[in-house]
Chains A and B, each alone.
Chain A
Amino acid sequence: GQQVMQIPQYQHVQEGEDFTTYCNSSTTLSNIQWYKQRPGGHPVFLIQLVKSGEVKKQKRLTFQFGEAKKNSSLHITATQTTDVGTYFCAGQGSGGYQKVTFGTGTKLQVIP
């Protein structure tokens, strides 16, 4: 079945440093979504990427979808303590009905 892996599993950064998490799928995806889960909270939708090579920005967050539609990345510039949480990518397969498979997640800790 479809597998979605994320690296790194954990990341500690000093406040103000940049952060990147990478997402890799075993199969080609029709789209990829990113979610953020704050400590003790629930996953919250951030963004969706659909087109090959697509890049989207939300303030300090930059999301990219690979050309082959099998990988994606989330880059945060100048991290803040409010960025703390676990970031999940979620990939949906192509062709007919395909469930969304969540990645393994990257837990970000920001040291003030």
Chain B
Amino acid sequence: DTAVSQTPKYLVTQMGNDKSIKCEQNLGHDTMYWYKQDSKKFLKIMFSYNNKELIINETVPNRFSPKSPDKAHLNLHINSLELGDSAVYFCASSQQGNRIRETQYFGPGTRLLVL
């Protein structure tokens, strides 16, 4: 049983297209996250949701819109894809997210390549 799953695993698309990445966790966690990892391996948080409510929204372009239909799912929609969006996108979850000492569990990642 995969704890945090993401689809698709790979995504190759043309500049200007719109695409979505889906994430699901079966750990019963309340908090979910989206991270972007660039070619230099820097791991930057983009968004965080706690019980379907947005709690962290870093300086991310408006073309990125997260959606959490329920606390087990957090999807990421990207409009008008640009070359600089090419990266690995990781979904993660943690038990509550508003307490200290929270371990994060990461999904396998979605490798996005914009041509």
In the complex, the answer to whether B106 meets A42 with C-beta atoms within 8 Å is yes
B residues near A (Cβ < 8 Å) are 35, 41-45, 48, 55-56, 90, 92, 98, 100-109
0 or 1 for each of A85-98: is its CB under 8 Å from B? (1 = yes) = 01010101010011
Which residue from A44, A88, A97 sits with its C-beta under 8 Å from B98?
A97
Give Cα A94–Cα B56 distance, bound, in whole angstroms.
16
Residues of B within 8 A of A104 (CB): 42
Give Cα A107–Cα B100 distance, bound, in whole angstroms.
27
Interface core residue of A30, A48, A50, A99 (most chain B CB under 10 Å):
A99
* Number of A-B residue pairs with CB-CB distance less than 8 Å in the complex they form: 51
The interface size bin for chain A is 20 to 34
Which residue from B41, B48, B90, B101 sits with its C-beta under 8 Å from A48?
B101
Q: Shortest distance in angstroms between A2's beta carbon and chain B's nearest beta carbon?
A: 11
Residues of A within 8 A of B100 (CB): 30-31, 92, 94, 98
Residues of A within 8 A of B90 (CB): 42-43
Residues of A within 8 A of B35 (CB): 102
Beyond the given A43-B92, A102-B35, A105-B41, could you list 20 further A-B residue pairs with CB under 8 A, ordered by the A residue number?
A31-B100, A33-B104, A37-B41, A42-B106, A42-B107, A42-B108, A42-B109, A43-B43, A45-B104, A45-B105, A50-B101, A86-B41, A88-B43, A90-B104, A92-B101, A99-B56, A100-B45, A104-B42, A105-B43, A107-B41
